[in-house]
A = this chain, B = another copy of it.
Amino acid sequence: MDPHLLRTFVAVARLGSFSAAARELGYTQSAVSQHIAALEHDLGAPLLGRRPVAPTPVGARLLEHAGPLLLRLDAARADIARLTSAPTDRLAIGATPLGAAELPGALAAVRRAHPGLVVTVRVLGRESVAREVATGALDVGLVDGMAAPTDPLHMGEATPLTSARVTEQPLAVALPAGHPLAGRPGLRLADLTDAQWIDAPDTGIPLAQLRRAVGGDGFRPALRYKGDDVRALVGLAAAGHGLTVLPTPALEGMAGVTAVPVGQPRVVHRTETLHAARTGDTAAELVAALTAAVAG
């Protein structure tokens, strides 16, 4: 179970092709074939069906382990690298679309204090932010999600990252103007499990989180939105393509939708910073600015 072999394995499984994985990893196809053969011999079971190339049950199980494992390995590398290399005048920030809303103010303060600082901001999905922060590609992450009041967001837990609360805001369901429920003072999520939903896993609240909060099945997506623009998502909701849950402030002033607060369960929209246990000065300042501005 050499990490190299695991890496090729996940690449092959993801791409569904030995040759493509070889191209991506800079090996020959022959080498990839031998990697998989070595892994299968080592574990004593076939991991991939060939033609088409798809994981066997054992392979699927190995994939579940391999992801977190390789992530931890990269995270360890990155952590040590941070510890040994000199601090830079570079600050890479990653944020989910809704999390990014909190950034401008705090970032201004940091840039004022460090005029030469080269700042990069990227907008990504939750898991991507966590992964990139863990591997050191990002210095600070801003992620958002749904949680019980004062509870931390429940991230992947596969890597040891420090997190701190930035904001907690009420949640609302975005209903098309004129929707029968639009007049209600509040809504119970449990009553909406069978409604038409938009799944926007990288923009708003993923339906999986609603499902977990309510504890049922349901929340079947009628439409899947893959972009990360909030306005476009609200536009879809306004046109009646389905419901979506967003923090109330993000829905203010949005045309065509009525925001009805989520009454039950008691949940809030929470934004958190994410950063490595040990981090650079400017990153620490940004986190302090982000958490202080609102928590104070």
Spell out A's residues near B (CB within 8 Å): 1-3, 43-45, 57-58, 61-62, 65-66, 68-69, 72-73, 75-77, 79-81, 83-84, 157, 278
Find out whether the CB atom of B76 lies under 8 angstroms from the CB atom of A62.
Answer: yes
Which 7 pairs of residues, A with B, have the shortest CB-CB distance? A65-B76, A45-B84, A43-B80, A69-B72, A44-B84, A58-B83, A61-B83
* CB closest chain-B residue, reference A6: B76
Find out whether the CB atom of B84 lies under 8 angstroms from the CB atom of A73.
Answer: no
Most chain B C-beta atoms within 10 Å of own C-beta, residue among A2, A75, A81, A83: A83
Q: How far is the CB of A71 from chain B (nearest CB, A)?
A: 10
Q: Report the separation of the CA atoms of residues A80 and B72 in the bound assembly, to the nearest whole angstrom.
A: 19
Find out whether the CB atom of A77 lies under 8 angstroms from the CB atom of B1.
Answer: yes
Given A45-B84, A58-B84, is A1 in contact with B76 using a C-beta cutoff of 8 Å? Answer: yes
Q: Report the separation of the CA atoms of residues A68 and B159 in the bound assembly, to the nearest whole angstrom.
A: 10
**Residues of chain B lying within 8 A (CB to CB) of residue A83:** 45, 57-58, 61
Find out whether the CB atom of B76 lies under 8 angstroms from the CB atom of A69.
Answer: yes
When the two chains form the complex, which single residue of B1, B76, B77 contacts A73, counting CB atoms closer than 8 Å? Answer: B1
Find out whether the CB atom of B68 lies under 8 angstroms from the CB atom of A80.
Answer: no
- Other A-B pairs beyond A69-B69, A69-B76, 14, CB < 8 Å: A2-B2, A2-B3, A43-B84, A45-B83, A45-B84, A58-B83, A61-B278, A62-B80, A65-B75, A65-B76, A66-B76, A68-B72, A69-B72, A157-B157
Q: Report the separation of the CA atoms of residues A58 and B82 in the bound assembly, to the nearest whole angstrom.
A: 10
* CB closest chain-B residue, reference A44: B84
Given A3-B3, A157-B157, is A58 in contact with B80 using a C-beta cutoff of 8 Å? Answer: yes
Q: Report the separation of the CA atoms of residues A43 and B81 in the bound assembly, to the nearest whole angstrom.
A: 7
Most chain B C-beta atoms within 10 Å of own C-beta, residue among A1, A80, A84: A80
Q: How far is the CB of A260 from chain B (nearest CB, A)?
A: 32
* CB closest chain-B residue, reference A85: B44
Q: Report the separation of the CA atoms of residues A21 and B61 in the bound assembly, to the nearest whole angstrom.
A: 33
**Contact sample, A vs B, 5 pairs, CB 8 Å cutoff:** A1-B76, A43-B84, A61-B80, A62-B80, A69-B73
Q: How far is the CB of A163 from chain B (nearest CB, A)?
A: 14
* CB closest chain-B residue, reference A76: B65
Q: Report the separation of the CA atoms of residues A77 and B58 in the bound assembly, to the nearest whole angstrom.
A: 11
Most chain B C-beta atoms within 10 Å of own C-beta, residue among A2, A3, A58, A76: A76
Q: How far is the CB of A77 from chain B (nearest CB, A)?
A: 6
When the two chains form the complex, which single residue of B1, B62, B79 contacts A65, counting CB atoms closer than 8 Å? Answer: B79
